[in-house]
């Protein structure tokens, strides 16, 4: 069975702090996709990244970076120098290559205070 665990329900930081959101997954598939989405107060889910299971290179996009560790089944997301606009609920998700079983974590609510 596929499962995504985001153990941090809520995180609160002060602006300019770095923050890491944890994501641990379980799957029996040897190939799969991992995702991160941002859901701001407006409600719309914003796609941030999709990573193939056979590509373990870490990725950096501006203040965002992702650390994919297949050995520990983790796909953590770090925001550097956080800003108030980063306040949102962040979801990690996992899908098989044929997308027959797309699973989301429960989400982590991040609050960045000025």
Partner 1 sequence: ETGVTQTPRHLVMGMTNKKSLKCEQHLGHNAMYWYKQSAKKPLELMFVYNFKEQTENNSVPSRFSPECPNSSHLFLHLHTLQPEDSALYLCASSHELAGGEFFGPGTRLTVL
Piece of 10-18, 22-30, 77-85, 90-98 that binds partner 1 (CB under 8 A): 90-98
Which of 8, 27, 82, 95 forms a contact with partner 1 (CB under 8 A)?
95
Angstrom distances, CA of residue 76 to CA of 1, 5, 41, 42: 21, 11, 22, 24
CA distance 7 to 28: 21
By the 8 A CB rule, do 59 and 49 touch? yes
Closer CB to partner 1, 13 or 103, in the complex:
103
Residue 12: helix, strand or coil by DSSP? strand
* Tokens standing for residue 104: 């989301």
By the 8 A CB rule, do 92 and 105 touch? yes
Piece of 19-27, 45-53, 60-68, 69-77 that binds partner 1 (CB under 8 A): 45-53
Q: Would you give the binding string for partner 1 spanning residues 4-43, x where CB under 8 A is met?
A: x----------------------------x-x-x----xx
Binding site for partner 1 (CB under 8 A): 4, 33, 35, 37, 42-47, 50, 91, 93, 95, 97-107
């Amino acid at each position: 069975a596929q499962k995504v665990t985001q153990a941090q329900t809520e995180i609160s930081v002060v602006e300019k702090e770095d923050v890491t959101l944890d994501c641990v997954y379980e799957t029996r598939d040897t190939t799969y996709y991992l995702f991160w989405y941002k859901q701001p107060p407006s409600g719309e889910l914003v796609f941030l990244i999709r990573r193939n299971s056979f590509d373990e290179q870490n990725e950096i996009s501006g203040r965002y970076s992702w650390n994919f560790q297949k050995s520990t089944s983790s796909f953590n997301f770090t925001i550097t120098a956080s800003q108030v606009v980063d306040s949102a609920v962040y979801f990690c998700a996992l899908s098989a290559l044929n997308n027959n079983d797309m699973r989301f974590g429960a989400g982590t609510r991040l609050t960045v205070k000025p």
